[in-house]
Structure 1
Amino acid sequence: MASPTGPRPTEESLVIDTDRLSRLKQSTEGDLWTKHSIYKVPPYMFHPKKNAYEPHLVSIGPYHHGKPHLRSMEEHKHRALHHLLKRSNKHIDDYRKMLSDVLQDLMDSYEQLDDKWRDDRDKFLQLMILDGIFLLELLCSYSGIIKDYGINDPVFSFHGSVNILHYIVSDALMVENQLPLLVLERMVAVESGTMVEKDKFMQNYKILNNLVVGFFIPSMKPVPEIGEGLHVLDLVRKGMILGPPANTSRHLPSDVIRSASDLHDAGVEFRRSKTESIRDITFSNGILSLPIFIVEGGTESFYLNVLAFERLHPSTGREVSSFIAFMYGLINSEKDARLLRSLGFIQSTLGSDESIADLTKELARDMYFDPYSPLCEVRDALNLFYKKSMKQWSKRIREWRSNLMQNYFKTPWTLISVVAAAFLLALTMTQTYYTALAYYNNNPAPNPPTTPPH
């Protein structure tokens, strides 16, 4: 029988990981956790759609490297390497040397790096080079910076953009399928020769910001100043937020936000926000300003991975989590989705309003407001407005009832007269009905002729 506190530890589970202890001795626990930025999603966070965190076409980084269904893309990674070396007149050793200096930092970026990579550092370095060049070529080819791929290239061409690009974009935004941006920064430094002094680069991250945000969020022009990022997913998340997390006072838990339909019925007016930032949500003077919520095929996978990253990376805010919790409050039913879509606040390719409501419900599973989020202020203000509006309606109903009683039912005899009149009217209608029924029963309609008249 199992122990009430869980399965008993086996002899194998009690073996001490001396390598891990050695790494902990070299660095404090806090320092080690700070270096982590790429995570595996733990089982307790698994979404019912477990493949939401599993790449479908291309592996980036060590977590999914070598899986059978992803091997076909390895050939294209080697082609990208060949194109880059030929075009830049560089040698692969130039990239190898540049990354060797930061190899330990790159390895520490992964929270759960298998021992096979730690034992074979050269293999890990090759993986960083190959995957890094693939990403860089992808960004540069679709931005128009490089044009040495064929028009029928299966990946780096318009043909590729039509057929497989959406799979690559989805895979490149998965929390387990990330590469430290430090890899790309070093590669840009090799190509552009921007290294000045020791390991100091001339704002290569700005070049990468333009490439990454321009590729994943093409509507965002010009690219705002969002600072350095940890990896592609982190940069795209920052692009959605448009700035660092806001410092606000802590809010105590409140009841959930009212739905869009309830708020609309209570007199709330909906307007477009001035920007598309998910933080640009305000409520003032009865007007709720919202950005457009775009819902399409890859929306669920993208948001699930951003939400997972926010939960796993300690120094990352919870802006996206609070946004999803807020939108779920607004879109609580098919009726709410239909209202917001009719007002232009939802752009969807999913087809039905029910699908939109189901999506927000799935995304909001186990989500909650960050108590420090500015959206808490918006939520509380909306709830206060709704309660005041309902009180006003209740007051008007009471006043109407009071005026009715005072003006028309001043004495009990008035009420009795009205009731008696209504009763007599009902009796009269009933008598009329039965009289007409008796007439038609006694005078049935003639049967229709069996043959047409001549």
Structure 2
Amino acid sequence: MELHSLSNVDFTRKRWVDQIRKNFNEEAGIDVSNIPVCVFNVPKSISRFKPEAYLPQAIALGPYHHFEGHLYQMERYKVAVVKAFLDPYQVHSFEPLVIDKLKKIEPMIRACYHKYLDLNGDTLAWVFAIDGLFLLDLFKHYDEMERFMPKKLMKYETIYRDMMVLENQIPLVILNEIQKLIDCDFELLSMMVGYCEVHSPLKLTPDSKSYIGAANYLHLLDLMYRLIVNNELPTQDCEDESYHGQRANKKREITKRDHVITNMEDIKEIGQRLSNFRRFGNVISVMVNIPWGRLCALLGFNKKLDKEDMNDHPRVMEIDIPSVSSLSKYAHINFNPSDGGIKDTKFVATEAMLYLPVITLKIYSEVVLRNLVAYEIAISSSTMEIAQYVDLMSGIIDTEEDVKLLKSKGIIKGNMTNKEIVDLFNGMNKSCEHAARSNETVKQLNEYYNAKLAIKAWKFVKKRMRGSRKVLTVVFTLLACLLLIVYSFCEVYGCPKLYNKMK
């Protein structure tokens, strides 16, 4: 290990000892047992497919990324915003008014963060004083940031994007303390709700303004997460459900004849394929039983993937579900926007209808979705609603045709292009096995899709023909080799009869 590395390690250990000694010797410490950890590190298992989506690009908020070199250029703009936010007396008395008092709540600040903060108390106080006041002003005037941040330097969308990064969150309990120190009485939580309403990709609970007093929110990302998850349509009474069921039965009777006709056409086509397949069934059965795998290995056609390459380039995993186009074309499933939120995602088999919440996708929406899922996985009390929804959308969106269909139904909105939306959802890895197994909508869709006669017949044919792919590959390769040998022989020794026939 190099000398400067050893010095840094020793300095870090000394600072840790000083911090522990300080907390241990304090007679009247702050009780942090009721302060929840709310700012987490994003594990590599989540961030490995797109690590830049979990990191700030321009502005560091809080201690995790504050001292990264590429974020330094924005510090002078943050200071300019803070000085404009304060009155002249507060600027002149900044240290005794803000810094010294933040030092007194240092244990509370550290308790909010999952990672050990390798900073002394004075540095930590200055970080939260500048970043906290900057964020307070941003909530109050976030549509006027061009006063201090020229558009040539950065896009305003980058600010909104960085504010939603999990590792860039500043706990609300700290913002409230800073607000008290400067005697600022504006409704912070109400302004944060307004921010979420503008920038959330999914609908929030309709009574979000009245709902804010019912829970203790932890930070901006936690507020948006809860307002999304708690958006649910009111339960209908029995009379409405009865009417809904009767309407669904009538609709099923009307559309049943069309589905039967279409299914019969599919079955007829597959039946013709099966009759052709039966002619050569005996031949294919014999050829499939030949050990083609060994033969391919001898000929050098099998190429095993290197485990190291697979680790260097991990493959995105999705849930097993047909795409939007397949569900529509082969199972005749329709799509309809839900009036509620993600909890109202459901498949109604009697209507052959999948209800999905409206999602508005903008340039920074991918970062918001990814960090919402990361935060949901980090908190132990979550039931994985957002993860299940994102898994479902990632599974059913494969091509631009899928996006076009959902846009035509009014389910996807926003200014992202079809290709960008496909790349977004195809790049989202399956959150976890538990969320996939517990997703009832996915189970119902797969059961309905796989129950179709045409799908059953096609899967049977596909299963039987799977082994014949190797057969055809090897046969055509051997034929090509044989023709090459014959051609080479005729070039050397001549084949007059064969040439005459060819002429």
The TM-score range, normalised by the shorter chain, is: 0.5 to 0.7
Q: SS at 2:166's partner residue? A: coil
Counterpart for residue 142 of structure 1: 142
Aligned AA (1:282): K
Question: Gaps spanning 5+ residues in structure 1: where?
Answer: 1-11, 195-202, 245-254, 396-454
Is 1:127 paired with 2:130? no
TM-score, reference length from structure 1: 0.64
CA drift at 1:25: 10
Counterpart for residue 46 of structure 1: 47
CA drift at 1:231: 1.6
| Alpha-carbon distance between aligned partners in 2 of 1:381 and 1:105, rounded to the nearest angstrom | 47
Question: What percent identity do the matched residue pairs reach?
Answer: 24
Please say which of residues 208-217 and 59-68 is displaced more in the overlay: 208-217
Aligned AA (2:368): F
Counterpart for residue 374 of structure 2: 308
- Would you tell me which structure has more helix in proportion to its own residues? 2
Aligned AA (1:174): V
Aligned AA (1:383): N
CA drift at 1:105: 1.8
CA drift at 1:274: 0.6
Q: SS at 1:289's partner residue? A: strand
| Alpha-carbon distance between aligned partners in 2 of 1:164 and 1:78, rounded to the nearest angstrom | 19
Counterpart for residue 170 of structure 1: 161
Contact 2:35 2:108 in 1 (8 A): no
Counterpart for residue 63 of structure 2: 62
Q: SS at 1:176's partner residue? A: helix
Contact 2:112 2:171 in 1 (8 A): yes
Paired residue total: 344
**Aligned counterpart for 1:291 among listed residues 345, 354, 357:** 357
Contact 2:192 2:220 in 1 (8 A): no
CA displacement, residues 1-53 of structure 1 (integer Å, 9 cap, x when unaligned): xxxxxxxxxxx9xx998789989999xxxx98973221223334332332222
Counterpart for residue 401 of structure 1: none
Please say which of residues 31-40 and 332-341 is displaced more in the overlay: 31-40
Counterpart for residue 38 of structure 2: 37
Change (3 A) 1:20 1:45: farther
| Alpha-carbon distance between aligned partners in 2 of 1:271 and 1:124, rounded to the nearest angstrom | 50
Counterpart for residue 429 of structure 2: 364
CA displacement, residues 430-450 of structure 1 (integer Å, 9 cap, x when unaligned): xxxxxxxxxxxxxxxxxxxxx
Counterpart for residue 337 of structure 2: 272
| Alpha-carbon distance between aligned partners in 1 of 2:344 and 2:222, rounded to the nearest angstrom | 19
| Alpha-carbon distance between aligned partners in 2 of 1:293 and 1:214, rounded to the nearest angstrom | 13
Counterpart for residue 107 of structure 1: 110
Q: SS at 1:126's partner residue? A: helix
Contact 2:406 2:412 in 1 (8 A): yes
Counterpart for residue 407 of structure 1: none
Aligned AA (1:363): M
Please say which of residues 218-227 and 259-268 is displaced more in the overlay: 218-227
Contact 1:303 1:363 in 2 (8 A): no
Q: SS at 1:290's partner residue? A: strand
**Aligned counterpart for 2:171 among listed residues 167, 174, 180:** 180
- Map 1:17-28; keep pairs closer than 5 Å: none
CA displacement, residues 374-433 of structure 1 (integer Å, 9 cap, x when unaligned): xx2222222232234x048879xxxxxxxxxxxxxxxxxxxxxxxxxxxxxxxxxxxxxx
Contact 2:391 2:436 in 1 (8 A): no
Counterpart for residue 411 of structure 1: none
Change (3 A) 1:142 1:366: closer
CA drift at 1:366: 5.1
Counterpart for residue 404 of structure 2: 338
Contact 2:342 2:357 in 1 (8 A): yes
| Alpha-carbon distance between aligned partners in 2 of 1:341 and 1:243, rounded to the nearest angstrom | 22
**Aligned counterpart for 1:262 among listed residues 326, 337, 340:** 326
Change (3 A) 1:316 1:377: closer
Is 1:380 paired with 2:365? no
Q: SS at 1:270's partner residue? A: strand
| Alpha-carbon distance between aligned partners in 2 of 1:222 and 1:160, rounded to the nearest angstrom | 35
Is 1:238 paired with 2:238? no
Q: SS at 2:354's partner residue? A: strand
Contact 1:60 1:177 in 2 (8 A): yes
Change (3 A) 1:215 1:381: closer
| Alpha-carbon distance between aligned partners in 2 of 1:130 and 1:306, rounded to the nearest angstrom | 26
Query: Which of the pair has more CA radius of gyration?
Result: 1
| Alpha-carbon distance between aligned partners in 1 of 2:437 and 2:49, rounded to the nearest angstrom | 29
Change (3 A) 1:303 1:25: farther
Q: SS at 2:435's partner residue? A: coil
Is 1:216 paired with 2:199? yes
Counterpart for residue 415 of structure 1: none
Q: SS at 2:417's partner residue? A: coil
Counterpart for residue 269 of structure 2: none
| Alpha-carbon distance between aligned partners in 2 of 1:215 and 1:333, rounded to the nearest angstrom | 28
Contact 1:189 1:204 in 2 (8 A): no
Counterpart for residue 404 of structure 1: none
CA drift at 1:153: 1.3
Change (3 A) 1:393 1:111: closer
| Alpha-carbon distance between aligned partners in 2 of 1:45 and 1:32, rounded to the nearest angstrom | 29
CA displacement, residues 270-309 of structure 1 (integer Å, 9 cap, x when unaligned): 111113x233312223221111233332232222222222
Aligned AA (1:216): H
CA drift at 1:326: 0.8
| Alpha-carbon distance between aligned partners in 1 of 2:89 and 2:224, rounded to the nearest angstrom | 28
After superposition, the CA RMSD in angstroms is 4.0
